[in-house]
Structure 1
Amino acid sequence: MTAPVELAKRIPDRPSLPRYIERAELVLAMPDQKPLAFLGLTPDPLQQLAAALATVRTEAGEQADVVLDLVPVSERQLARRRRRLLAATRRRGPSAYGEKLTGGPGGGGLAASFKAAWSGGGASGGSRPDRLPRMTDLRDGVGKFGPGAGAVFAVQILLRTAAAHPQTALARMHQLLAVFATTSGENYLKPHRPRTRQATASFDRRFASGEFAPRGRQWMTVPELAGFLKPPTARCSASNVVRSGGLVPPAPANLPVYTGQRDLVPLGAVTYPDGRERIGAARVEDLLFGLQLGKSGHGKTEAALVQAIALAHCGYGVWFLDPHGEAWARAKPYLAHPHIAGRLCEINLAKCELDQLVVSWNPLSMEGRTARDVQDVVRSVTEGIAAAQSWGDHAPRARTILARAAQALALLSLRAVQDGRPDLQPTIFQLRTWLTDEDWREALLPLLPPRVQTYWRNTFPTLPKDAVATVTYVMDRLDTSQSLQAFFGSPRSSYDVRTAMDTGQVVFVCPSGSESDALVSCLLIHDLHRAGLSRQDTPREQRRTFWAWGDELTALDSSSKGFLAAIAEQLRKYEVRFIGMTQMVLRLSPGTRQSLLQNQSLLSTCAADFDEAAFVARRWNGHVTPETITELPKYHYVMSINLEGKPTRPFRVRGLPVEEIFAHYNNPAGVPELDAAIDTNLRRRPAGEIVADLEVLDAEIRAHFAGRGPGPAATGDPTTLID
């Protein structure tokens, strides 16, 4: 049996270099019942060995090996050895301080001694009896092989060093011998070097093959060997020690194995109880909300991307908020397949040229909606803009103005759709026109219900001008970006997240490069929440499961102001699943953090700062220490999931890159066709055309509605307002 700890520093043999080899076998210098020193854990006995091996220059052809071969000693052999030692002790008789205590001429021997003891000390024939061996003599005679010795092993310890210079090989051997000198106690290890050709051949044969033929009887107990057989502890600070990464519970034996099943979500490579590594997975029915934590660049986004690609290929709807656009660039070749192309949507707000085809979204669009949806649209727009501007409860006047303006424009959009002119619906850029152009507003007011008109004619004129500037500031910022003008400037939306939910679309949103990322992300996340709640109109069994991922969750949370918590608390009922990724969970708002942790069915972390690691470790009730989390290698995670309705203990996962797990999906040649399919799916138009239409949209809206009598929306006819 070879020791389970690798204590050698090996290199391939280099026949081109001269090699000088030193050999030594360590044997017990005293009788084997005398123990070596019992080495504790402080300092770690492997510290000196690791330091000695660290000096070996493998690049110069040096090599140092320590081989410990162990063969268990049977209980019968140990008992026989113990009896012989006891017999030898009795023959010697009692002693003290090196002086023999048996006396009297004729001695009497062992039989007389036992006879005297049995008779209570009396003796026949008037001779003085021998005294029985004392217990201390018996203990000393048996030594470490007493009844409480535990397991005993026959040991063979071989040391070998090699170098290009004989003195170097000898120096390396002396370093190894110094390591084992620390075991000296009542007994000690002495080196025996082979001197003859036959002895050298025997040494090399045993060294290479593991043949067990130690020099004499070398029996040792576990306490003597434990210091060299255990793994290095935290107290072994040598830099050349490979760390285990800390203690983490094993993966559940019933963890599903992913091979492409539709009802499974891949997690990464997991070592199963049989020692084999497979792709572990969570069940779709068990995974509702997830939180992935840890340092930047350690694989959170990659793990999410693997899951999104897997679910997209299985027919699920996917919504992936990718602030930097890197995930979308990696995912594209793996999604370029006919069964996905027809439902793939890309929203990329990076800098665009006027002739570039872009997607448009009008948050105020009422196309496909009814009067009862006006309040949801108004709330989504108002909360999104207010959260992005951090108004909170400190700007009630600005929030009220914004909500009233959004309500008026949503009602006008409803009228335009009813008139068959969805191309004349107001956009969020018309919010500024409504608030600053009195003539334009007065021309359209008669189309609105009387109560709406009352606010704009009686209350609004009394408000100070700076309140209006607070609201229009948002549109002024959007107007500085050509990509945002193209995205928000079209009356008709080609992106609709509710449609994406119901038809299983795959949506990648990349707001990178825009001047108002927080505002865009805010409006999108609020719209996701609104669309999820709107699924109340669909029977539960008909709701398709829709998966959403949000990267850079901290920035998203700071701008969304509570809507991430609302998603985690409310959208489970409507088959919307959400998984968020962030570097710093402690920077999430308390409400969002508590809601995600309360409702999570997947908690994963890669390496993190100690404070972040301690926060996560507390959620696992001490099964993992913060130090274990801080020392995780790159692309390795500790995670727990819900499995069969119960949370698992944390277990290790090795992240798998997209190109490894989905190599069979990689289709870079299909990307041009995929782009063409996205153009068709989203009815993408040239950015220059949208911007040009936006310039004249105010006039066209006014011209269409000018002179129109008050319609149903103005009179408030409930038969039309509530379909």
Structure 2
Amino acid sequence: MTATIDFTKPTTAPRPTARRYVQRAELTLALADQKPLASLGLNPDPLQQLAAAMASVRTEAGECADVVLDLVPVRERQLARRRRRLLAQSKRRGPSAYGERLTGGLGGGGVWGSVTAAWSGGKTVSGGRGERLPRMTDLRDGVGKFEPSAGATFAVQLLLRTEAGHPQAALARMNQLLAAFAATSGENYLRPRRPRTRWRIAHFDRRFVTGEFVPRKRQWLTVPELAGFLKPPTVKCRASSVVRSGGLVPPAPSDLPVYTGQRDLVPLGTVIYSDGRERIGAAKVKDLLFGLQLGKSGHGKTEAALVQCIAMAHSGYGTWFLDPHGEGWVRAKPYLAHPHIASRVWEINLAHSEPDQLVASWNPLSMEGRTLSAVKDVVRSVTEGIAAAQDWGDNAPRARTILARGAQALALLNHQAVQAGQPDAQCTLFQLRSWLTDEDWREQLLPKLPQRVRDYWEKTFPKLANDAVPTVTYAIDRLDTSQALQAFFGSPRSAYDVRTAMDTNRVVFVCPSGSESDALVSCLLIHDLHRAGLSRQDTPRDERRTFWAWGDELTALDSSSKGFLAAIAEQLRKYEVRFIGMTQMALRLSAITRQSLLQNQSLLSTCAADFDEAAFVARRWNGHVTPETITELPKYHYVMSINLNGTPTKPFRVRGLPIEELFAHYDNPAGVPDLDQAIDTNLRRRPVGEILAALEDLDAIVLAHHTGRRPDATGAGDPTTLID
């Protein structure tokens, strides 16, 4: 049986019909075959020069280069016979070969007979007198590399062939190949023998094409001599023509589910299963609670999240995707433009600010659909959101207190308006500024509040330093610089309500791009997500619908949310809210967020990353993957581990799938206009100009509802100025 190894630089284009020039060479041992070639190590890699020679072949010009290494195992009895012959030759050479004469016959008894038997496969010859034991160095010199400890031995046929459109090009390629094999020179070396006659050329070509094993002379090589060319390229082989495996990564779990659209599975990407076939791997919905996706920008984190979001949306789940730049929504929109899902889709896009542009609104202080006991949750969400975005920490206790008290007062007034059937008379975030800076407006509304609330504003607030109020109103002033944010936060009634989205399986995309207040907006949204999740305590566990949330650019989100991402990962599992975050650098996350996500994650995924980031992730996998493997991942390839049947898996490779490849059957760009109309209906979207015009009169509307008085240019604060 012949084993053939073919080192070939293939031709990617059909070879032209012009004359071709071919160089042929067979490499044979120049000296006796018991003299060894050099035993090549791993550094430098013996394949480096060979791979570099192959890389220089211009396949586009029709050049090719082939190295064929044919191996036939040598039987043990043949090897033993060869050793006996070599020993006999060594003995005839006498003292000059050994340093002392070996007397007696080759097959004599005694010690010499035992040595001969050991080196000849167990054969002995009876008779003869005892002989003095030869030195072991003499024995090794006699048999050379064929001593028993050398291991397996192979008969070798090594053929080189190059082809090009110019004779010098073919010769140059051949010389490069010969130079690569020159590194094997040691006690012995390989000599090129070129066929010259027509018969020898035909004989060479027949062996080259058919694999016929007829080497020009006997040449036996041991494993140490061949190992350098039989192993795969190592990391030390840096030639561009080497296809990298990407490092050692454990195989995918044998019981990893295959995704074909099942509702209870979340697609991950294509995975090579144990049978060698590539399928779409998936995590089970019941096992995937929180996830963290890491790696370089542009390597597919957002794409993987969009694939999961679209899959969950079509499976009937509620989803929430925070897309800071709006690019994800543009990618996903055509795949959601279907009648069975359009009635559930919400789009919050803060990049639009033209007067006739239809937009949705959100009032974080709205009390529609909420009981009086929910005031404390609303106050906390607004206060913590603004305080975190402003990075107050513990350094602004007065500002935090004033903000909380102001939010409380307006939330109580809003509850009264809703109870009276006038939700359009609710205060928004912009009324916080009016409450704090317009003393006449505030004093006319104070009597509508409980006495314990009035006491703070009548007794404590006037004593606070004047510089505390501007600290609070600064955040509102920032919102007031963008018409898009004025329209989003300036309507008394909320079309956006994340608790409603959770309970009715809405598909929500939030794109807070377009202003310098993105951090503040994202922070308010994250705090509201946390509040809404906790509010599901009022729903029995078996009636809580699973709701999926994705947060892109997690580092920026974490810097503004100040711990609430950690709270989501730690608390919302009980309320069927699942969260997956994407970020380029886990080391830039705050310690509390990073620790919480890693502690509770059931999906950890990384694409290519910087070495420090890669080392950080690799440590979480207990050495199953090296940092070098992660740094060299190709684009859109990941290493990830998941929870499967309640147990963490070892990391495995995943190739990311673009949306258009996995969900081509959902692509419906023609349905986008209908989807836009459905979103207008779903969110009761109104023109920006209309919302801004109503916001100008909202202070007066609130005052009119609660007191029957409207402040104007002639009767501001005058209790006798009444509204008919």
Q: TM-score, normalised by structure 1?
A: 0.92
Would the aligned equivalents of 1:8 and 1:66 in 2 still touch at CA under 8 Å? Answer: no
Distance, in Å, in 1 between the alignment partners of 2:77 and 2:557 is: 72
Structure 2 match to 1:256 = 257
Distance, in Å, in 2 between the alignment partners of 1:452 and 1:68 is: 91
Distance 1:628 1:110, change over 3 A: closer
Structure 2 match to 1:550 = 551
Distance, in Å, in 1 between the alignment partners of 2:388 and 2:24 is: 74
Q: 1:44: how far off? A: 1.4
Distance, in Å, in 1 between the alignment partners of 2:88 and 2:615 is: 62
Matched, 1:300 2:301: yes
In the TM superposition, 1:73-92 aligns within 5 A as: 73=74, 77-87=75-85, 89-90=87-88
Q: 1:103: how far off? A: 8.8
Would the aligned equivalents of 2:9 and 2:66 in 1 still touch at CA under 8 Å? Answer: yes
Q: 1:3: how far off? A: 6.0
Between 1:134-143 and 1:165-174, the stretch displaced more is 134-143
In the TM superposition, 1:276-295 aligns within 5 A as: 276-295=277-296
Structure 1 match to 2:186 = 185
Q: Equivalent residue of 1:97, what SS?
A: helix
Structure 1 match to 2:109 = 114
In the TM superposition, 1:690-701 aligns within 5 A as: 690-701=691-702
Q: Deviations over 1:104-159 (max 9, x none)?
A: 9xxx7546x4389789xxxxxxx999877765454444433332232333322111
Distance, in Å, in 2 between the alignment partners of 1:658 and 1:586 is: 29
Between 1:58-67 and 1:518-527, the stretch displaced more is 58-67
Structure 1 match to 2:349 = 348
| Structure 2 gap segments, 5+ residues each | 115-127, 710-724
Matched, 1:402 2:403: yes
Distance, in Å, in 2 between the alignment partners of 1:419 and 1:345 is: 29
Q: Deviations over 1:219-250 (max 9, x none)?
A: 32221111112222222233433322222222
Matched positions, count: 694
Matched, 1:620 2:597: no
Letter in 2 for 1:85: R
Distance, in Å, in 1 between the alignment partners of 2:444 and 2:483 is: 29
Distance 1:91 1:328, change over 3 A: closer
Matched, 1:97 2:96: yes
Q: 1:428: how far off? A: 0.7
Q: 1:544: how far off? A: 0.7
In the TM superposition, 1:197-216 aligns within 5 A as: 197-216=198-217
Q: Deviations over 1:543-589 (max 9, x none)?
A: 11111000000100010010000000000111101000011111111
Would the aligned equivalents of 2:13 and 2:60 in 1 still touch at CA under 8 Å? Answer: no
Letter in 2 for 1:210: G
Q: Equivalent residue of 1:465, what SS?
A: coil
Q: Equivalent residue of 1:83, what SS?
A: helix
Would the aligned equivalents of 1:318 and 1:546 in 2 still touch at CA under 8 Å? Answer: yes
Distance 1:379 1:103, change over 3 A: closer
Distance 1:324 1:451, change over 3 A: same
Q: Deviations over 1:675-704 (max 9, x none)?
A: 111111111111111111111111111111
Q: Equivalent residue of 1:377, what SS?
A: helix
Structure 1 match to 2:9 = 8
Would the aligned equivalents of 2:428 and 2:490 in 1 still touch at CA under 8 Å? Answer: yes
Q: 1:608: how far off? A: 1.1
Q: 1:87: how far off? A: 4.7
Would the aligned equivalents of 1:10 and 1:64 in 2 still touch at CA under 8 Å? Answer: no
Structure 1 match to 2:272 = 271
Distance, in Å, in 2 between the alignment partners of 1:519 and 1:101 is: 94
Q: Equivalent residue of 2:150, what SS?
A: coil
Would the aligned equivalents of 1:93 and 1:100 in 2 still touch at CA under 8 Å? Answer: no
Would the aligned equivalents of 1:522 and 1:560 in 2 still touch at CA under 8 Å? Answer: yes
Distance, in Å, in 2 between the alignment partners of 1:384 and 1:128 is: 101
Q: Equivalent residue of 1:148, what SS?
A: helix
Letter in 2 for 1:97: S
In the TM superposition, 1:363-382 aligns within 5 A as: 363-382=364-383
Would the aligned equivalents of 1:255 and 1:282 in 2 still touch at CA under 8 Å? Answer: yes
Distance, in Å, in 2 between the alignment partners of 1:91 and 1:150 is: 23
Matched, 1:673 2:671: no
Structure 1 match to 2:592 = 591
Q: 1:5: how far off? A: 7.7
Distance 1:461 1:196, change over 3 A: same
Letter in 2 for 1:78: E
Would the aligned equivalents of 1:102 and 1:131 in 2 still touch at CA under 8 Å? Answer: no
Q: Deviations over 1:299-357 (max 9, x none)?
A: 11001111111111111110000000000000011111122111111000003211111
Distance, in Å, in 2 between the alignment partners of 1:115 and 1:590 is: 77
Letter in 2 for 1:591: I
Structure 2 match to 1:535 = 536
Letter in 2 for 1:395: A
Distance 1:88 1:390, change over 3 A: closer
RMSD value, Cα: 2.3
In the TM superposition, 1:161-560 aligns within 5 A as: 161-560=162-561
Distance 1:435 1:223, change over 3 A: same
Between 1:634-643 and 1:520-529, the stretch displaced more is 634-643
Structure 1 match to 2:601 = 600
Would the aligned equivalents of 2:498 and 2:528 in 1 still touch at CA under 8 Å? Answer: yes
Q: 1:213: how far off? A: 3.2
Letter in 1 for 2:368: E
Distance, in Å, in 1 between the alignment partners of 2:419 and 2:98 is: 119
Distance, in Å, in 2 between the alignment partners of 1:692 and 1:379 is: 29
Q: 1:209: how far off? A: 3.6
Distance 1:63 1:428, change over 3 A: same
Distance, in Å, in 2 between the alignment partners of 1:430 and 1:392 is: 24
Between 1:416-425 and 1:35-44, the stretch displaced more is 35-44
Between 1:678-687 and 1:168-177, the stretch displaced more is 168-177
Letter in 2 for 1:586: L
Q: Deviations over 1:477-519 (max 9, x none)?
A: 2112111111111111111101111111110000111331111
Structure 2 match to 1:714 = none
Distance, in Å, in 1 between the alignment partners of 2:319 and 2:29 is: 69
Between 1:33-42 and 1:327-336, the stretch displaced more is 33-42
Structure 2 match to 1:721 = none
Distance 1:341 1:707, change over 3 A: closer
Percentage of matched positions with identical amino acids: 77
Distance, in Å, in 2 between the alignment partners of 1:130 and 1:596 is: 78
Distance, in Å, in 2 between the alignment partners of 1:103 and 1:490 is: 110
Would the aligned equivalents of 1:495 and 1:682 in 2 still touch at CA under 8 Å? Answer: yes
In the TM superposition, 1:133-144 aligns within 5 A as: 135-144=136-145
Q: TM-score, normalised by structure 2?
A: 0.91
Distance 1:565 1:374, change over 3 A: same
Q: Equivalent residue of 2:418, what SS?
A: helix
In the TM superposition, 1:122-133 aligns within 5 A as: none
Distance, in Å, in 2 between the alignment partners of 1:28 and 1:193 is: 14
Structure 2 match to 1:570 = 571
Structure 1 match to 2:122 = none
Distance, in Å, in 2 between the alignment partners of 1:567 and 1:190 is: 71
Q: Deviations over 1:79-102 (max 9, x none)?
A: 233134315524763633248977
Distance 1:310 1:213, change over 3 A: farther
Distance, in Å, in 1 between the alignment partners of 2:588 and 2:90 is: 77
Q: Equivalent residue of 2:696, what SS?
A: helix
Distance, in Å, in 2 between the alignment partners of 1:521 and 1:225 is: 62
Letter in 2 for 1:304: A
Would the aligned equivalents of 2:37 and 2:189 in 1 still touch at CA under 8 Å? Answer: yes
Q: Deviations over 1:641-670 (max 9, x none)?
A: 111211111111111111111111111111
Distance 1:115 1:373, change over 3 A: closer
